[in-house]
A and B are shown apart, each in its own frame.
Chain A
Amino acid sequence: MIASGHAKAAPVLVLCRQCVRYVFEGARTCPHCHGDALEISERYRDGGYLVIETMQRIDRLREGSES
């Protein structure tokens, strides 16, 4: 395959674990709900997001693409 060019990668977003909207990785205070974006809420856990997030993180580590 021919190398075609060089670009930047997109910045990483994660979900606010309170209101389940996207925030930049590392954000502590959510710009939407103003809550603690890292603190896992019931809504986050009960909605199954925690499980999916964990599985996807494992997959990514396995693929060696964690940035």
Chain B
Amino acid sequence: MDQALDDTPRRRLSLSDQLDCVPVYVVWELTLACNLKCIHCGSRAGHRRARELTTDECIDVIRQLAELGTREISIIGGEAFIRRDWLTIIRAISDHGIDCTMQSGAYKLSSSMLRSAADAGLLGLGVSIDGPEALHDRLRGVRGSYREALRVLDDCRQIGLTASVNTQITASVMPDLPQVMETIIAAGAKYWQVQLTVAMGNAVDHDDILLQPYDLATLMPLLAELHLKGRAHDLVLLPGNNIGYFGPHEVLWRGPDRGYYSGCPAGQNVIGLEADGTVKGCPSLATDRYGAGDVRSTSIAELWQSHPALQFNRARGTDDLWGFCRDCYYAEACRGGCTWTADSLLGRRGNNPYCHHRVLTLAERGIRERIVKVEDAPALPFATGRFALIEEPLPREPTPEARCT
């Protein structure tokens, strides 16, 4: 999902949430229309979908989710506020006793719109910042989008709306992360959620922006350092669900007791909704493999209860695992990490090269993994291409003499 699970108390899963499959957290694409042109956008947002839900249909969706026990709905796009009825939808979510948050590129989100959203019941806003100004504007495809994002963070501070920053970790931003953090601290945001850019949609077209799995050997110690620095400045760095797993720094953000990554919650405690009413276990999953029918033809409760595309995580089996993940020590707890990340990359879930434990284990054997694109993604929302996973010898650290020559 655009924003993976963080640690807000109502989103924290109890044992009964897990056992009873309560869809605690819903991420809802209100429209696919967008005013940015991000080169990493998995949903290839831009134009609205052909048959997006009407206001009445949206309100009925909210009623159904409230009955299922949903505690938080995060509205996303495209850009959610492009819908004329976005404030009506926020109010309806809030009136049903469900927390409403929004993830946004924040371009052209005026201060008065923000104030109206807060009045309607919006509890928090996640603003995307993907790098220093030039990089952010290049990745987001619109000059001025960085300044707008910072302006909106400032507006949030002024009206007292909780703001978090979301950052996509691309190969290009990795060295600039410390600088991005400085900016976020200065902007007064309290939470910084980072996630790896996934090989989906536009990111497949621009595959040079993807990290290589072996980059995690550099990234994870850097995130640990930033996490500690953030704490000292009242900023909580929260790695998203596709950043892990079980490496030596994991305890910093997951804590010593029961905070560990316990597998992908898609279809168990998470629902994703597309703007035309298509239901998925997670909003980011490929629609062709994980779409479970739509709310116009079947109730959400019925889909949730019985559609096979939503069931794959519930038995917690390890039969789907393959490759390195199959024999991993953590297989039963982790089950290959983020389904979206692995499935989009390799066309099948259950083998995730973007894993710190895996990178370190392979390094001990003198090996690293690299991805190479072998098939482009079709020009459709949430389309995937295909990547090959290549094992190669780990390059030796240059000796001091070699470095000088």
Residues of A at the B interface (CB closer than 8 Å) are 1-15, 19-22, 24, 31, 49, 52-53, 56-57, 60, 65, 67
Contacts and interface: CB of A to CB of B under 8 A. Distances in A.
Contacts of B311: 5
A49 B255 CA distance: 8
Given A6-B20, A11-B332, 12 more contacts: A4-B301, A7-B20, A7-B313, A9-B18, A9-B19, A10-B316, A12-B258, A20-B251, A21-B248, A22-B250, A31-B329, A53-B257
Main secondary structure of the interface of A (DSSP, over half): loop
Nearest to A57: B257
Interface in B328-373: 329-330, 332-333
Contacts of B67: 1-2
Given A4-B22, A65-B15, A52 B256 contact: yes
A31 B360 CA distance: 13
Interface string B196-207: 000000000000
Contacts of B255: 52, 56
Contacts of B330: 22
27 contacts: A2-B67, A2-B301, A4-B22, A4-B301, A6-B314, A7-B19, A7-B21, A7-B316, A8-B19, A9-B316, A11-B333, A12-B258, A13-B260, A15-B257, A20-B251, A21-B248, A21-B251, A22-B246, A22-B251, A22-B330, A22-B333, A49-B256, A52-B255, A53-B256, A56-B255, A56-B257, A65-B15
Given A53-B257, A56-B256, A6 B250 contact: no
B246 A21 contact: yes
Interface of B: 14-15, 18-23, 67-69, 246-248, 250-251, 255-258, 260, 262-263, 268, 301, 304-305, 311, 313-316, 329-330, 332-333
Nearest to A32: B248
Nearest to B262: A10
Q: Is the interface of B mostly helix, strand, loop or mixed?
A: loop
Contacts of A20: 248, 251
Contacts of A1: 22, 67-69
Contacts of A2: 67-69, 301
A15 B263 contact: no
A52 B257 contact: yes
B220 to A, nearest CB: 13
A49 B250 CA distance: 13
Contacts of B268: 7
A53 to B, nearest CB: 5
A3 B20 contact: yes
Given A1-B69, A4-B23, A52-B256, A10 B18 contact: yes
Given A1-B69, A15-B251, A10 B333 contact: yes
